[in-house]
């Protein structure tokens, strides 16, 4: 009779997409342990199919060597999506272990200019897939170690923001109901490239103290609090006048980055991916 480990690995190999959906519902620590124990040739395809925000929570619990191996295996585009949800210090350590061509491309894609929402957002907002049931969602919320800075956000399989789910609604709803049926619209969302200077009077603050942050196509990348806005603006006010010219250049660079990011995304997919050779 096959062991539990053998059955698990057979499932990962034969059904990476289904395995990704199962692993997304586990606590991040348990999911990370499973990815770490599996051979890279099995773990990488599963990680590639996971929602980036869920996959990143797993990578946070692995050491740099294991994480870099998985990043090589998932491919450039999936790797960029995962790295967006890791802290800056961790990203720098991981990029140092990746092939030079990938590192350059990643840095171009990951760099939000100073003075933008993306530079101050919290990427650890709790996001749940729309096809998750209420009972699964409640369990995920109970075991969450993400910063629960607002009601959980609801996303589709393309990481597109669909809305949010109020905890009170989760507690009242039938356990088999999917979040897609309960999600409430989130009309106020901030572009990651938006400049902070124009957000003090944003109408969204009249309804919530935390707003979701999106990139093109409404792809969720984090959340931004009113407290973070005030802190950022306060720091800008303390910036010496002689730096204003540098700020202007930063805005120009930000506009340029926004314009070429789609082109870089396409080019990244063509770069060769260096794979770590597994030990027998």
Domain 4-111's class? mainly alpha
Predicted structure pTM score = 0.61
Q: What is the DSSP string of the chain?
A: ---HHHHHHHHHHH-HHHHHHHHHTS-HHHHHHHHHHS-HHHHHHHHHHS-HHHHHHHHTTS-HHHHHHHHHHH-HHHHHHHHTTS-HHHHHHHHTTS-HHHHHHHHHHH-PPTTBGGGT-BTTB-EEETTSBHHHHHHHHHT--SB--SSPEEE-TT-BEEEE--HHHHHHS-TT-BHHHHPBP----EETT-BGGG-TT-GGGGT-SEEEEEEGGGEEEEEEEHHHHHHHHHHHHTS-GGGHHHHHHHHHHHHHHHHHHHHHHHHHTTS----PPPP-
Going by CATH, does the domain composed of 119-236 fall within 3.10.580.10?
Answer: yes
Q: Per-domain residue ranges for the chain?
A: 4-111, 119-236
Q: Tens-digit pLDDT profile for the chain (280 aa)?
A: 567 888 899 999 999 999 999 999 888 899 999 999 999 999 999 999 998 888 999 999 999 999 999 998 887 667 877 888 888 788 889 989 988 877 776 776 677 777 889 888 887 788 999 999 999 999 988 887 665 667 899 999 899 999 999 989 999 999 999 999 999 999 999 999 999 988 999 999 999 999 999 998 999 988 999 988 998 887 666 544 434 444 444 444 444 444 444 444 444 444 444 444 444 4
């Amino acid at each position: 009779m096959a062991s539990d480990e053998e059955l698990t690995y057979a499932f990962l190999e034969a059904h990476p997409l289904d395995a990704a959906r199962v692993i997304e519902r586990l606590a991040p620590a348990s999911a990370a342990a499973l990815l770490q124990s599996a051979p890279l040739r099995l773990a990488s395809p599963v990680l590639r199919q996971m929602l980036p925000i869920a996959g990143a929570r797993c990578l946070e619990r692995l050491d740099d060597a294991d994480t870099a191996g998985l990043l090589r295996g998932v491919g450039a585009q999936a790797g960029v999506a995962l790295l967006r949800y890791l802290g800056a210090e961790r990203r720098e350590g991981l990029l140092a272990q990746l092939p030079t061509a990938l590192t350059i491309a990643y840095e171009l894609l990951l760099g939000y200019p100073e003075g933008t929402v993306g530079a101050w957002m919290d990427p650890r907002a709790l996001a749940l897939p729309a096809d998750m049931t209420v009972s699964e969602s409640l369990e995920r919320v109970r075991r969450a170690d993400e910063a629960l800075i607002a009601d959980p956000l609801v996303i589709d399989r393309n990481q597109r923001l669909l809305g949010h789910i109020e905890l009170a609604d989760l507690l009242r709803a039938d356990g088999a109901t999917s979040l897609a049926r309960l999600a409430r619209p989130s009309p106020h969302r901030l572009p990651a490239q938006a400049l902070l200077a124009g957000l003090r009077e944003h109408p969204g603050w009249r309804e919530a103290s935390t707003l979701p942050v999106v990139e093109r196509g409404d792809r969720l990348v984090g959340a931004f609090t009113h407290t973070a806005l005030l802190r950022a603006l306060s720091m800008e006010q303390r910036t010496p006048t002689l730096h204003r010219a540098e700020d202007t250049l930063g805005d120009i660079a930000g506009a340029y980055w926004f314009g070429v990011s789609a082109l870089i995304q396409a080019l990244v997919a063509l770069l060769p991916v260096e794979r770590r050779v597994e030990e027998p």
